[in-house]
Amino acid sequence: MEFSVKSGSPEKQRSACVVVGVFEPRRLSPVAEQLDKISDGYLSSLLRRGDLEGKPGQMLLLHQVPGVLSERVLLVGCGKERELDERQYKQIINKTITTLNETGSMEAVCFLTELHVKGRDTYWKVRQAVETTKAGLYSFDQFKTNKAEPRRPLRKLVFNVPTRRELTIGERAITHGLAVAKGVRICRDVANMPPNVCNPAYLASQARRLADAYDNISTKVIGEQEMAELGMNSYLAVARGSENEAMMAIIEYKGNGDAKPIVLVGKGLTFDSGGISIKPAEGMDEMKYDMGGAASVLGTMHALAQLQLPINVIGVLAGCENMPGGNAYRPGDILTTMSGQTVEVLNTDAEGRLVLCDALTYVDRYDPETVIDVATLTGACIIALGHHTSGLLANHNPLAHELLNASEQAGDRAWRLPLFDEYQEQLESPFADMTNLGGRPAGTITAAAFLSRFTKKYNWAHLDIAGTAWKSGKDKGSTGRPVPLLTQFLLNRAGVADVEDKE
């Protein structure tokens, strides 16, 4: 799929299709008015007849419009002009791309990027159009024997910007959008893999492949023998019930000499049965997505590599599988973590924090500037925030604000929850330094409170993506989140974030 930007009038476009907007009630956008003028009122006459109301997502494909050089004109309903917000804009783009892909228009010039979206500039509109297009065309059919493909799929999309001076802004937006889209695709592909394919060794192999592709990336993999030597007994305990060896892949990206690195740690439970505290059978197939954190870190590292940002970043994929077995760890066990702190296991299904705590201790050796862990950690986060918003907790206010700002910029939203000392009391154990479960109240917060005990030496944030990493039901599959948020955070840290469109 090829993307580009241009600045031109719609009547001069020679293309398979020109895409323009129509507002409610039956009101042409300024660009559509230009086409209406050269077609002697052809478009406005259709609207008067009631062919299109202009409601969000309505589509009307026209062929051989008088006076128009392009073969087709696609009229897109955009709702009420003053109510066009970012969510509706992305929905309109998605519906447009689906329509174009089904109508045989192999190329199109899209003028929807000229619409006024509340609070958003040209950079945002072009970048989101790229990301939304790529997401809308995504499919995971590697295991299907019959692959359905469009006869004449959309191959080229040109976004129009209002003025020539905004071409540079648009080009940068495409560059950033394509990098994010690639990261999202990698994340989705890896997360959607079945657990008999995507195990900890598979995750490690994906990390090695990334290092093979870029000179400034190196990868090392730590297996169970080295974990034992390091004292990562908590991580190893979770893996004991599985035939698949735990592997922690460390991807090191060098873009800025000896500068302190930003470290991203992803929970990589390639399958989580719950262990001896086994989960209910219904929906357990979705526990292949419990490595969504590691998949998003891998995707973000791909986006970073494509952008070649001038920063140092380390991505950690904490690969593991939680299974019941004769050697599985048990409720009641007391584990000594890599940090030396001890944990009483109350529930073997609260395993993600037991893997992450050792990984978070390990990364201290890199003297990190910042550490962010990403994990499908708690069902409680879904109860608190649903499936639209990731949970954010942090021990450093400026870092939390940076991530929230990046989430708004990227349209990949997060919401901060408190991490007050009072919540630590729920982790008290009569036999060890702490338990691995704080009870039902504030489950997302107590999970983060547990992790915070291992992150006192650096600025740290925790993203709970249990509700946002995948969808269930008929749309079952990985979402690729929070790759857009993390990539935006890195763009901001590198100082090459969005270019403001100041008119």
The annotation places the binding site for Mn(2+) at 267, 272, 290, 349, 351
- Does the annotation mark 279 as catalytic? yes
Contact 206, 156 (CB under 8 A): no
Contacts of 449 (CB under 8 A, 6+ apart): 419, 423, 424, 426, 427, 438
Residue of 490, 177, 485 whose CA lies nearest to 312: 490
**Which SS3 state, helix, strand or coil, does residue 140 take?**
coil
Block residue for tokens 């090392």: 220
DSSP H or E stretch at residue 332: none
Residue of 298, 315, 218, 302 whose CA lies nearest to 263: 315
Block residue for tokens 């000392």: 421
Give the DSSP letter string of 254-272: -SSTTPPPEEEEEEEEEEE
* Core vs surface per residue 327-341: b (16+ CB within 10 A) or e: ebbebebebebbbeb
Instruction: Report residue 240 as tokens.
Output: 């004991």
Helix ranges restricted to H, 193-291: 200-213, 224-230, 233-239
DSSP H or E stretch at residue 372: strand 370-375
Block residue for tokens 């009870």: 439
Residue of 437, 297, 421, 274 whose CA lies nearest to 359: 297
Selecting among 279, 413, 416, 471, the annotated active-site residue is: 279
Q: How far apart are CA 479 and CA 482, in angstroms?
A: 8
Q: How far apart are CA 401 and CA 398, in angstroms?
A: 5
308 Rama class: left (phi>0) / alpha (psi -120 to 50) / beta: left
Selecting among 72, 188, 353, 453, the annotated active-site residue is: 353
Question: Could you tell me the CA-to-CA distances from 58 to 63, 129, 153, 250, 455 in Å, in that order?
Answer: 17, 18, 21, 47, 51
Phi (first) and psi of residue 365, to 5 degrees? -65, -15
Positive or negative, the Cα torsion across 478, 182, 310, 161? negative
- DSSP class of 436: S
Residue of 337, 377, 344 whose CA lies nearest to 359: 337
As annotated, the active-site residues are 279, 353
